[in-house]
């Protein structure tokens, strides 16, 4: 990775992307799990959003995402226990999601299977709703136990990208998801790094932008701004 003093061009490039705080939040932990699992190696708009919306519709949820301030006030409409009760196996979930993607092209499992394994691990540890997941984030020992158990599900991605993304979706603004789109954007901008390097780099950028802009710019904002730019093919 380039030394700290050389990241100014990157800070300038991210600032030009106009990073903003999160403006939408899934209202259920079920939707967060679906997003985290199905987004790895898939087009977000064509595959991930339709999957979440199809499952949300099954639970009678017309608007699965809303303003974060509002989301914290809403009771989880589709707790993981309800997901597991409605879909006892991956075939049942696939029949609704209409998505048969695997977690990887070689030796992977169905993403539907990974969703149900994630759900079971979280549910069995008392993490059933978005509120439960946010509470786990504030309890380091409990969070480590849950996070360690989630590692056992195939398809975690390089350096646990999928798990990190789940906690981001729940509301951890200090975590980033340096997936392939983010890594490619960084490389095009002149900062080729691996996942671990990207995590460190994006945190440095968030600190630099916080100083520059005079407001708290979270690592999530930096990550999301870069991801959105990569999604648009923007540099």
Domain-wise residue ranges, the chain: 4-22+177-232, 25-170
First to last CA, the chain: 20
How does pLDDT run across 93-144, given as a tens digit for each residue? 999 999 999 998 787 899 999 999 999 999 999 999 999 999 999 898 999 9
Report long-range pairs for 102-105 (Cβ below 8 Å, ≥24 apart): 102/155, 103/37, 103/40, 103/154, 103/155, 104/41, 104/154, 104/155
Those residues of the chain that have pLDDT short of 70 are 1-5, 233-235
| CA distances, 37 to each of 19, 24, 92, 162 (Å) | 25, 19, 17, 7
Which residues does residue 102 pair with via DSSP β-bridges, in sequence order?
A: 110
Q: Angle, nearest 10°, between helix axes 29-38 and 111-124?
A: 140
Residue with tokens 């919306």: 53
pLDDT value of residue 233:
67
């Amino acid at each position: 990775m380039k030394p700290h003093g050389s990241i100014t061009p990157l800070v300038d490039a991210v600032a030009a992307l106009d990073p903003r705080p999160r403006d939408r939040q899934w209202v259920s932990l079920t939707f967060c799990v679906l997003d985290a699992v199905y987004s790895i190696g898939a087009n977000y708009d064509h595959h991930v959003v339709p999957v979440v919306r199809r499952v949300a519709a099954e639970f009678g949820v017309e608007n699965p995402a809303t303003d974060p301030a509002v989301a914290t006030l809403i009771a989880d409409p589709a707790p993981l226990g309800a997901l597991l009760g409605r879909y006892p196996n991956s075939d049942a979930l696939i029949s609704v999601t209409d998505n048969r993607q695997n977690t990887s092209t070689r030796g992977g499992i169905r993403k539907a299977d990974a969703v149900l394994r994630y759900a079971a691990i979280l549910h069995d540890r008392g993490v059933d709703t978005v509120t439960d997941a946010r509470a786990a984030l504030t309890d380091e020992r409990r969070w480590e136990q849950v996070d360690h158990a989630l590692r056992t599900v195939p398809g975690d991605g390089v350096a646990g990208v999928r798990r990190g993304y789940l906690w981001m979706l729940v509301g951890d603004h200090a975590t980033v998801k340096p997936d392939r789109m983010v890594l490619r954007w960084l490389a095009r901008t002149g900062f080729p790094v691996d996942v671990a390097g990207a995590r460190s780099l994006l945190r440095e950028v968030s600190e630099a932008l916080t100083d520059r802009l005079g407001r708290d710019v979270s690592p999530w904002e930096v990550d999301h701004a870069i991801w959105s730019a990569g999604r648009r093919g923007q540099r």
